[in-house]
């Protein structure tokens, strides 16, 4: 039996390394890798062991809170009008429930977070030139079509940058690609030890280049926020409050400066935000989506519409307001907080936020530092897109949650061997 568990444990760890390698690439292989990884975890039989004392399960609290949030989504079946949409979302969200036992019983001792981290960041670096080659191919062999069927409201741009950030979504949505790369940077910096300085010094600039290539405004803001959090974490506790405001201002200056150089900022009309509820084809598409979603917040603020119902609701509102072409596309909210409010109500949104904040609060040392970087990455990116609308975002969440709890809580310092006097 022990031999069987050892083999299952090794396969389980190898599958986690496969997940680490596949994260920068399209989501379909990730689905199969995550499924096999969890099955091998079950076969290993750790869940058959007696639970540890409750006092040792503080780090399992985030898994339990995400599980409660997932459970509320399950219960919404009883009031969700579209059962097919409910089932599609719950099929995609199932890992939030499956990770509860993993959070309680943990993973086996084969999990070497440094090896996992090196596999992950190496794959991030390898992915970039492959995407670049594909984008060059698409740039010279593209066929432009109207974005909205039947209406001449989309004019193709001829610039190189626009071609890049539009075409990259055919393979990997730029938000998820940049999220993966930025978390890879955080992992690389965590590996910044004497033996690995050369690795981080070479790979970090390469991964940051993905933000420039994709021209993602949200990734630039997120990178600036993670820089601020990283500096604050690196400072001794006494200096965090003393210099915290200055460091926050530094992040704002860096983020604003980089955004001003971003070619996509030239198309932003900030004055349209105040008229968000007045839908217009001249507005940014996201503003139209947000405007349709908040037309009648009393429809969902109490207990939500139910899992997977936000797209249908937005389409219904757009159709009611006369924007039939937009309604046909059935946009998701493009804001994770707005989606949670629409689908789970104010209580579900608060539970969702509590689950996120519990990740760093239930850890310590290096684990807490990595957790703050990770939730900063997600909390910022969730403002402009639904990070769980695609499996990429869920797979990165699974990977990070497991990795954070495998990082050494305290840096190990090897002392000199004792000598004879």
Q: What is the pLDDT of residues 149-187, one digit of tens each?
A: 444 444 444 455 555 656 666 678 888 988 999 999 999
Most confident of 8-12, 124-128, 139-143, 350-354: 350-354
- Greater confidence (257 vs 161) lies with 257
Q: Kindly report the average pLDDT of the chain as a whole number.
A: 83
* Angle at 212 (CA atoms; ends 113, 195), nearest 5 degrees: 30
Structural domain contains residue 124: no
Structural domain contains residue 80: yes
Does residue 225 carry a pLDDT above 60?
Answer: yes
Does residue 91 carry a pLDDT above 90?
Answer: yes
Instruction: Name the packing angle between helices 2-22 and 27-44 (round to 10°).
Output: 160
Does residue 413 carry a pLDDT above 60?
Answer: no
Residue 31 has phi, psi (to 5 degrees) of -60, -50
Structural domain contains residue 389: yes
Q: Tokens for 213?
A: 């290539």
Residue 364, helix vs strand vs coil: coil
DSSP string covering 287-340: HHHHHHHTS-GGGTTTT-S-TT-HHHHHHHHHHHTT-HHHHHH----S-HHHHH
Residue 100 has phi, psi (to 5 degrees) of -60, -55
Structural domain contains residue 167: no
pLDDT band at 392 (very low <50, low <70, confident <90, very high): very high
Does residue 199 carry a pLDDT above 80?
Answer: no
Q: What is the pLDDT of residues 129-156, one digit of tens each?
A: 887 777 666 656 555 444 444 444 444 4
Which segment of 122-131, 153-162, 326-335 scores lowest on mean pLDDT?
153-162
Is there a contact between 18 and 33 (Cβ–Cβ < 8 Å)? yes
pLDDT band at 30 (very low <50, low <70, confident <90, very high): very high
Residue carrying the six token digits 């969890």 = 38
Note the pLDDT of residue 329.
81
Structural domain contains residue 149: no
Mean pLDDT of 358-369: 92
Structural domain contains residue 276: yes
Cα–Cα distances in angstroms (integers) from residue 316 to residues 79, 80, 287, 294, 344, in the given order: 18, 15, 16, 12, 18
Structural domain contains residue 89: yes
CB atoms within 10 A of CB 343: 27
- Greater confidence (227 vs 268) lies with 227
Q: What is the value of pTM for the model shown?
A: 0.87
Domain count, the chain: 1
Note the pLDDT of residue 162.
58
| DSSP E strands, 163-202 | none
Structural domain contains residue 384: yes
Note the pLDDT of residue 189.
85
Task: Give the residue numbers spanning the domain of 332.
Answer: 61-106+268-408
Note the pLDDT of residue 281.
67
């Amino acid at each position: 039996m022990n031999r069987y568990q050892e083999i299952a444990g090794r396969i389980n760890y190898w599958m986690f390394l496969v997940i680490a390698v596949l994260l920068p690439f399209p989501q379909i292989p990730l689905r199969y890798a995550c499924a096999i990884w969890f099955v091998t975890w079950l076969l290993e039989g750790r869940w058959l062991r007696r639970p540890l004392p409750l006092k040792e399960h503080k780090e399992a609290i985030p898994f339990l809170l995400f599980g409660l949030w997932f459970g509320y989504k399950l219960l919404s079946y009883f009031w969700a009008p579209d059962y097919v949409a409910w089932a599609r979302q719950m099929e995609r969200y199932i890992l939030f429930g499956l990770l509860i036992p993993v959070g309680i019983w943990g993973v086996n001792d084969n999990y070497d977070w440094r090896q996992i981290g090196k596999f992950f960041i190496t794959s991030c670096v390898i992915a970039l030139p492959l995407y670049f080659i594909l984008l060059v191919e698409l740039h010279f062999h593209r066929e432009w079509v109207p974005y909205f069927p039947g209406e001449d409201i989309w004019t193709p741009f001829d610039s190189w940058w626009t071609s890049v950030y539009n075409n990259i979504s055919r393979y990997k949505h730029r938000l998820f690609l940049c999220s993966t790369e930025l978390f890879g940077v955080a992992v690389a910096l965590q590996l910044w030890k004497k033996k690995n300085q050369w690795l981080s010094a070479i790979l970090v600039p390469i991964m940051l280049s993905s933000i420039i290539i994709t021209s993602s405004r949200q990734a630039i803001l997120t990178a600036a926020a993670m820089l601020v959090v990283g500096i604050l974490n690196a400072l001794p506790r006494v200096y965090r409050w003393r210099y915290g405001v200055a460091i926050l201002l530094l992040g704002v200056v860096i983020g604003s400066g980089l955004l001003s150089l971003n070619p996509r900022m030239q198309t932003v009309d900030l004055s349209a935000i105040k008229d968000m509820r007045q839908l217009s084809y001249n507005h940014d598409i996201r503003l139209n989506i947000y405007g349709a979603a908040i037309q009648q917040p009393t429809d969902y603020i109490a207990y939500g519409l139910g899992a997977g119902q936000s797209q249908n609701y937005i389409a219904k509102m757009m159709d009611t307001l006369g924007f039939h072409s937009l309604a046909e596309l059935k946009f998701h909210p493009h804001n994770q907080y707005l989606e949670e409010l629409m689908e789970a109500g104010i209580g579900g949104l608060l539970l969702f936020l509590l689950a996120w904040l519990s990740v760093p609060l239930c850890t310590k040392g290096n684990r807490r530092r990595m957790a703050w970087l990770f939730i900063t990455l997600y909390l910022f990116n969730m403002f402009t897109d639904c990070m769980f609308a695609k499996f990429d975002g869920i797979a990165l969440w699974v990977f990070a949650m497991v990795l954070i709890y495998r990082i050494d809580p305290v840096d190990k310092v090897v002392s000199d061997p004792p000598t004879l006097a």
